[in-house]
Chain A
Amino acid sequence: MTMAPERIDLRVELLIDQRWFAVCDLTDLIPGRGVAALLPDGSQVAVFLDRAGRPYAIDNRDPFTGAYVLSRGLLGSADGRPFVASPLLKQRFDLETGRCLDDETVTVQAYATRAGDVMSAQVA
């Protein structure tokens, strides 16, 4: 895989308890896909990069099946907002808010994320 030189050395960080926590290098991410990462408390997050180079993070657990797989879903955008579709039963989750687009009653946690000065929108 080719790496854009300016991406080297950039760390992807999540805001956890008011502190930035680095989960991986930007080069670990493929635009349009995700990876799973462990947080210090042992919980799992799914970290994504969209085609514009912006990182996002939400819970890795798919609330519909209980399986820890959201990181393996496909990214897309609807009305200009990025989402991930669960690889199991395809429900979509907004990457900025964690809200499920196919079931209003379901939300997963979303994390503020940054890579260098590129940052995902603040979580409401």
Chain B
Amino acid sequence: MTKSAPKSETATPTIVLVGHGMVGQRFLEALADRGVTSRARVVVLCEEPRPAYDRVQLTSYFSGRTADDLSMVEDGFMERHGIELHLGDPAEAIDRAARTVTARSGLTVTYDTLVLATGSYPFVPPVHGKDSAGCFVYRTVEDLLAIEEYAKDRATGTVVGGGLLGLEAAGALKGLGLTTHIVEFNARLMALQVDEGGGAALRRTVEDMGLIVHTGVGGKEIIADTGGAVTAMALSDGSSIDTDLVIFSAGVRPRDQLARDCGLDVGERGGITVDERCRTSDPAVYAIGECALTADGRVYGLVAPGYEMAQTVADDLAAVDCEGFTGADTSTKLKLLGVDVASFGDAHGTADGCLDVVYSDARAGVYKKLVVGAGGELLGGVLVGDAESYGMLRPLTGSVPPVAPEQLVLPAGLGAPAALGPSALPDDAVICSCHNVTKGSIRSAVTDHGCATVPEVKKCTKAGTGCGSCVKTLTTLVNDELEASGISVDKGLCGCFGYTRAELYEIVRTLRITTYARLLEGHGREEARSGDGCEVCKPAVGSIIASLAPTLGTSGYVLDGEQAALQDTNDHFLANLQRNGSYSIVPRIPGGEITPEKLIVIGEIARDFGLYTKITGGQRIDLFGARVDQLPVIWAKLVDAGFESGHAYGKALRTVKSCVGQTWCRYGVQDSVRMAIDLELRYRGLRSPHKLKSAVSGCARECAEARGKDFGVIATAAGWNLYVGGNGGAEPRHADLLAQDLNDEELIRLIDRFLMFYIRTADRLERTSAWLERIEGGLDHVRDVVVHDSLGLCAELEALMADHVAGYRDEWAETINDPERLRRFVSFVNAPESPDPTVAFVPERDQVKPDLTLLSGPTIPVRTARTLEGTSSR
């Protein structure tokens, strides 16, 4: 628990916040921004067991985000601002006369100001059987954990409610592998947001995804077995659905009980009544977020209006002038089950004399409607299936658009004129509705605050850090603004090439360029064409050429011809350079499986050459301290014993770790070792923008840590789940679920495509995790491309991988059999027999370590001059 140094009760006022949800946290940040936290004691009572998290992104928990990822509280925030946070301790009573709040633990705090941010609770219709085991709501991390657990060995689920949240919950159930029904009382899905036409387009798309939609019927009764677990749901039309699990998502209700109990005014249909300053009927008490019934008579179920309320109260407490909260935009854009849905402004066309402009393509599941006022002004609209233009249309709402409304809904290519860019927007157009950031503020972030990148602008304005739907428009605006201020955005790889790595890959691939020299001369920056390149582009181009080599029909061997000059030093010697100039050797041990005979060989070699041995973090063995001239001899022995290069030196596949799996482990459901070996052998030697790591676990216990890998595989009873974009290292990231329950063949096909798509589009030294977060559309886009073949690329990606697999040869076996290639493995060109005396060792823990004292002096003379006689000067 965070306890700040006690501040004197008399001098410092106390602010108590009840509810640490999204709006509560925003309120705390606003207080801190305004310096209020330094002059007031702030106490937070939080009902949930964890600090505020991003409820909007709750569903992403199922696609791999952890509860920690979702946290909204920056590390150390509470400590820095001396805020006392009490987790798992809800407020139970308010005594307004005494100005005290009492929490469940018995803690009683006297307040000067009380802020209620208690949010909403999901409404559960009073149907019989609603408390049976297997009935859930969808609001908190705990709800999701419970659903996930219960769904484990269940087959069918039903969501009651076909609104925004219902569809999201349905998507989650489907993702968990359940046959999923949606029961909606209204005649269409998302009745609140979309009109009839939009509802129809949405329904078609949702059904195409395999969900079963029942509209115009309500759930009448939940039928449970003798053990009290759900088995079916009876519907109002007399039919019934067999189901193992039910999620109620029939709307939310403000949590105003606490306020009612202490006599504050509440609305007839719920919600704590507040004025424009968000003050309740007691001036010492405020209410913000979803629990408040605002001055315009509404209860807002979206986060952006709640944020505005939070800011209003913080302003009030900081005695800053502000406009107060009089109402907010309820525009939304969502990606539900992969379908874009957006509604904004007067979506239902309620204004007098307004007209609709509709474009509908039932086959493609696209429906777009704009509501246009009598004077031609855009009033609102609904977009289903294609919400590309949302970022543009929403800010235009209320004004007369610069082009005819029909042209705003026609798809590109159907006679639509050049798309309207964000440059056409006025400065007061709101670009980010989550944080109420206007185009003007974004422009000034660039011009006045010197932000030069999108992440900087995000940090400075908060734009784009909510639902994320505005990021595309934001990026265009920032780049336009940078260009306008004469700051060119050079995306080039380095001083030698003005192209990105992905562009260079395309150039090499399509023009079939097989040498760095040709690429530099033909496509380098003018001033760099005759130069020597640099240490940035050479290895990058070397890697591109190596990964395309089988397809270009050139040698994939990285030490041949000009390729040799491009490689980083480690690749150049096929080993890892250590701090004293010696090398380490990592033979491949696929899947971490090794025979006693091979272990003995490794032991013998290490003993004979005096190498330091260590088990690596990647389930293999590293032999340290070899001199460059010893590498070929050592490798000759290793190759002879059946070992291959482990590519520990390359930007290439490193290891595929495995757990012991089904063969031995009592929990295992698949043979994880065999799969790990198959994958490691398939992708060994594959050159990529950064190193690639993988792991295969035999069951959900995940002993191989597959979710920390670039591509991780976890066994399920039905096959394999594939996760992508994981990372250990400095910025760990859990991999996201790409597809589930794949059979062997499907798994490998998908990994082939994924890897080749990554290799093709990533930046230099960009791990899959960073790539996945950077590329437009993120995981969804990657899934579209590699699972649904949205770019029609899959056949080509698979062919590239097939070429790689067919063309693979062990680099070390090729090297030791070729005297020409062996020539480089000497310490001195003019004294090939002399070992480098600076590479020496001292004992440590029964092995050796580098003798660094040898390296500290200015120079060390070598006493082997006899070898130099033949080359003395003329």
Contact = CB atoms under 8 A, between A and B. Distances in A.
A47 interface: yes
Interface in A56-71: 59, 61, 65-69
Interface in B811-848: 820, 823-824, 827-831, 834, 836, 838
Nearest to A85: B535
Interface stretch (B295-303, B568-576, B658-666): B568-576
Interface string A29-58: 011110111101111100100111000000
Given A38-B864, A67-B579, A47 B532 contact: no
A2 interface: yes
B532 A82 contact: yes
A47 B829 contact: yes
A22 interface: yes
Given A32-B533, A68-B838, A72-B573, A38 B874 contact: no
Contacts, number: 146
Contact of A65 (B573, B579, B865): B579
Given A65-B855, A66-B856, A76-B538, A30 B569 contact: no
Interface string B858-874: 01111111011001111
Contact of B872 (A1, A21, A31): A21
Interface stretch (B138-146, B434-442, B497-505, B559-567): B559-567
Contacts of A92: 535
Interface in B513-552: 517, 528, 530-536, 538-539
A21 B870 CA distance: 11
A38 B862 contact: yes
B274 interface: no
A74 to B, nearest CB: 4
Contacts of B534: 76-78, 85
Contacts of A9: none
Contacts of A80: 531
A90 interface: yes
B580 interface: yes
Interface of B: 495, 517, 528, 530-536, 538-539, 560-562, 564-566, 568-570, 572-573, 577, 579-581, 820, 823-824, 827-831, 834, 836, 838, 852, 854-857, 859-865, 867-868, 871-874
B531 A33 contact: no
Contact of A66 (B565, B827, B855, B873): B855
DSSP majority for the B interface? loop
A41 B872 CA distance: 12
B569 A74 contact: yes
B873 A33 contact: no
B535 A90 contact: yes
Contacts of A24: 829-830, 871
A32 B531 CA distance: 11
B564 A38 contact: no
Given A67-B580, A76-B538, A78-B495, A38 B568 contact: no
Nearest to A44: B862
B532 A88 contact: no
Nearest to B495: A78
B579 A88 contact: yes
Nearest to A21: B873
Nearest to B834: A38
Nearest to A67: B581
Contact of A68 (B530, B572, B581): B581
A73 interface: yes
B873 A20 contact: yes
B829 A69 contact: no
A68 to B, nearest CB: 5
B93 to A, nearest CB: 63
Closest 9 CB pairs of A and B: A66-B855, A32-B565, A42-B861, A76-B534, A87-B569, A77-B531, A42-B862, A77-B532, A85-B535
Contacts of B532: 32, 50-52, 75-77, 82
Contacts of A19: 873
A28 B830 CA distance: 10
Contact of B577 (A1, A37, A66, A72): A72
A13 interface: yes
A23 interface: yes
A75 B861 CA distance: 26
B865 A31 contact: no
Contacts of B533: 32, 51, 75-77
A40 B872 contact: yes
B573 to A, nearest CB: 7
A48 to B, nearest CB: 10
A38 B830 contact: yes
A41 B581 contact: no
Nearest to B532: A77
A37 B828 CA distance: 5
A13 B579 CA distance: 30
B552 to A, nearest CB: 19
Given A21-B873, A69-B569, 9 more contacts: A28-B823, A33-B572, A44-B859, A50-B532, A67-B580, A68-B838, A68-B855, A74-B568, A77-B531
Nearest to B533: A76
A51 B569 contact: no
A32 B537 CA distance: 13
Contacts of A72: 569, 572-573, 577
Given A24-B830, A74-B569, A88-B579, A51 B863 contact: no
Given A42-B861, A74-B569, A37 B830 contact: yes
Nearest to A12: B829
A38 B534 CA distance: 27
A41 B830 CA distance: 14
A78 B618 CA distance: 38
Nearest to A72: B569
Nearest to A2: B561
B861 A43 contact: yes
Contacts of A33: 564-565, 572
A66 B840 CA distance: 13
Contacts of B872: 21-22, 40
A13 B836 contact: no
Nearest to A22: B871
A75 B562 CA distance: 13
A38 B579 contact: no
A110 to B, nearest CB: 15
Contacts of B562: 31-32
Contact of B838 (A67, A82, A87): A67
A1 B517 contact: no
B600 to A, nearest CB: 33
Contacts of A47: 829
Contact of A22 (B539, B865, B874): B874
